[in-house]
Amino acid sequence: MSKIETQVENFMAEILEDTDYELVDVEYVKEGRDWFLRVFADKAGGIDLDDCQKLSEKLSAKLDAADIIGGAYILEVSSPGIDRILKKDKDFVREAGKIVDVTLYAPLDGKKFFVGELVGRDEKFLHIKDEAPLPREKVALVRLHIDF
């Protein structure tokens, strides 16, 4: 995590203190010629456009006052979506029992993609029901499964 992402997480912790919002993730990335600061937040029942606007305005004021980003950037505050990516320990605890899509960096025993019920995660392995434990260092991405 970059210094900017860490500082933005700290700002968001202040903004979200004593609210029912949860900070899901922060990313500061360059895409083409533009830099994007993306903040993903959620709350029980989901967040809407008004929530995103309020959070964006509060964060923007803190960013302007602190002046931690030297150049131009695009600030995006949004929901993580229904297929949210699981990254933090609390994500894996909260979503245990739900169906997830798992992508590995490289095939393991000939298989690179898994879909199954999330049992949990420990220091070394990701546990999916009816699958052998998946070594965490081989897991590229875990996200909630969408079944259409």
The CATH number of residue 56's host domain is 3.30.300.70
CA distance 3 to 24: 17
CB atoms within 10 A of CB 35: 16
Q: Are residues 52 and 116 both part of a single domain? A: no
Q: Are residues 102 and 66 both part of a single domain? A: no
Q: What percent of the chain has pLDDT over 90?
A: 88
Do 39 and 54 meet the contact criterion of CB atoms below 8 Å apart?
Answer: no
CA 118 to chain centre: 17
- Indicate the average pLDDT of the chain: 94
**Is residue 83 in some structural domain?**
no
**Is residue 38 in some structural domain?**
yes
Q: Are residues 68 and 97 both part of a single domain? A: no
Instruction: Return the pLDDT at 90.
Output: 87
pLDDT digits (tens, 9 = 90+) for 98-135: 999 999 999 999 999 999 999 999 999 999 999 999 99
Q: How confident is the model at residue 147 (pLDDT cuts 50, 70, 90)?
A: confident
Rounded average pLDDT over 92-98: 94
**Is residue 135 in some structural domain?**
yes
Q: Write out the H or E segment, with its range, that includes residue 6.
A: helix 3-16
Q: Are residues 7 and 73 both part of a single domain? A: yes
Q: At what angle do helices 3-16 and 49-66 cross, to 10 degrees?
A: 120
Domain that holds residue 37: 3-78
Q: Are strands 74-78 and 34-43 parallel, antiparallel or unpaired?
A: parallel
**Which residue among 52, 78, 104 closes a domain?**
78
The domain total for the chain is 2
Query: What's the Cα-to-Cα distance from 126 to each of 1, 8, 94, 109, 110, rounded to whole Å?
Result: 22, 28, 14, 16, 18
**Residue 38 predicted with pLDDT over 80:** yes
**Is residue 140 in some structural domain?**
yes
Q: Are residues 37 and 68 both part of a single domain? A: yes
**Residue 1 predicted with pLDDT over 80:** no
**Which residue among 31, 46, 78 closes a domain?**
78
**Which residue among 30, 55, 78 closes a domain?**
78
Q: How confident is the model at residue 140 (pLDDT cuts 50, 70, 90)?
A: very high
pLDDT digits (tens, 9 = 90+) for 19-37: 999 999 999 999 999 999 9
**Is residue 84 in some structural domain?**
no
